[in-house]
Structures are given as C-alpha cells and as structure tokens.
C-alpha cells in the first residue's frame, strides 16, 4: 500500500518525506486555505519535496473552467495529479485530461457506482471518503470493499483506490487488508501508525539494561 499525506503544510511534508515512507501528497482548497499561502506556490514547493503524485484540486465546477485550471496546475510539475470533483462535468474533464496523459484524482466519491464512473472516465485515482460516510452512519470500509470487488472484475480498469477521510490507524489497516492501493492520511494519523505502548516499554527496558553495562558502541 502506498501512503500519501493529506496536508498543505510543507514543513510537515518535509519531515514525513525524510522518513522514506511517503509516496505522495493530497491537498484540497480547505487545506490550502489553512496554509494562508497561494495555491500555486504551495503546490510547487510540495512537488519539489516528494517525487510521487501531488494532488492539486481545481476550483471550477464547469468543464471549460476545469480544463483551464487543470492546464495551469499540471504546468507546475510533472508529478501533479489534477483533482476533480465527481460530478458530470468533472468526469468529462477527467476523460479529456486522461486522454492527454494527465494524472487525475477524482474526489468526493461516496458510492461504488460513482467509483465505476470515475474508472470509466480514465481516472488515475478515485478517492472514496470513508470517515465522512462513517459520520452519517454508513459503512465507509464497506464501500472500499465494494469498489475493489468491482475493479477486480474488470482488469482493463486501471484506476487506483485512494482511501481518503481516514480518521484513525484502524482505517489504514482495514484498507490494507482489503487491498486498497493508496491511503491518504492526516500527518497525525500517519504518526500514530508508529505508536504502541509495548514498543515504548520494550525500548525503555533495553536502554535501561544497556546503561547498566557502561558500554558505548561508537
């Protein structure tokens, strides 16, 4: 499974990229707004920090506007994935951009039928939002299972399932068990994957025993 981080905080991205565990980045207008910076500057800096896909979202909701904005975004760097909403004009724009060789991330997916349409439109990634479904009493991980089942029935569909709106490490583990291609995580959740009290306890014990030896390695 590939790990993307869901943020526009370039300091966070730089720190996580240094771990060697980061495969890409997703952003959206809300995350850009929190940064207080211009979108083109933020995306350009992120693209310099990570070699993998960097999702940058259009603001337009009509076909012509999406294509116009996508042209600006994809000119920033070769690893930009243009992020489009899962609406009719978004899927039309997806088809056009995919045919031109542009990576596209179709976002705001909440049903298996929508995911099938995104794949038919040539999306590189489709982003189902599991946490938001859980919030309204629906089964977010059930949606991931349904999408993967459908995609596996049709090998010609090359769209990767990018699990979004992840709230906790259990979402990540469940997604990996189902075989999702990508998980995009808030920085705090990505760091939670490291944490376990027995790891901390074991390390403390090892260090205490080592200190008793009075030795050094270097």
Is-contact 173 144, C-beta < 8 A?
no
d(CA 94, CA 103): 9
- Residue 19, classed as helix, strand or coil, is coil
Long-range contacts from 7-12, C-beta under 8 angstroms, 24+ separation: 7/31, 7/186, 7/187, 8/32, 8/34, 8/35, 8/37, 8/42, 8/46, 9/34, 9/35, 9/187, 10/35, 10/42, 10/45, 10/46, 10/49, 12/187
Beta bridge partners of 164: 129
DSSP 160-214: EEEEBS--SHHHHHHHHHHT-SEEEE-HHHHHHTT--HHHHHHHHHHHHHHHHHT
- Residue 6, classed as helix, strand or coil, is strand
Is-contact 57 107, C-beta < 8 A?
yes
d(CA 204, CA 210): 10
Report, as residue numbers or ranges, the catalytic residues. Answer: 83
């Amino acid at each position: 499974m590939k790990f993307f981080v869901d943020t526009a905080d370039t300091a966070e991205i730089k720190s996580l990229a240094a771990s060697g565990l980061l495969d890409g980045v997703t952003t959206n207008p809300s995350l850009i707004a929190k940064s207080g910076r211009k979108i083109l500057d933020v995306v350009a800096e992120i693209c310099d920090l990570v070699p993998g896909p960097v999702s940058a979202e259009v603001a337009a909701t009509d076909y012509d506007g999406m294509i116009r904005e996508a042209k600006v975004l994809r000119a920033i760097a070769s690893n930009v994935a243009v992020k489009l909403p899962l609406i009719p004009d978004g899927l039309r724009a997806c088809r056009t951009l995919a045919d031109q060789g542009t990576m596209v991330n179709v976002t705001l997916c909440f049903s298996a039928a929508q995911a099938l349409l995104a794949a038919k439109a040539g999306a590189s990634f489709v982003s189902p939002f599991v946490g938001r479904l859980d919030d309204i009493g629906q089964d977010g991980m059930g949606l991931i299972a349904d999408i993967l089942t459908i995609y596996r029935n049709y090998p010609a569909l090359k769209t990767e399932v990018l699990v979004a709106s992840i709230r906790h490490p259990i979402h990540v583990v469940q997604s990996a068990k189902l075989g999702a291609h990508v998980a995009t995580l808030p920085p705090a959740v990505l760091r939670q994957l490291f944490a376990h009290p027995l790891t901390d306890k074991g390390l403390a014990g090892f260090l205490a025993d080592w200190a008793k030896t009075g030795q050094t390695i270097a």
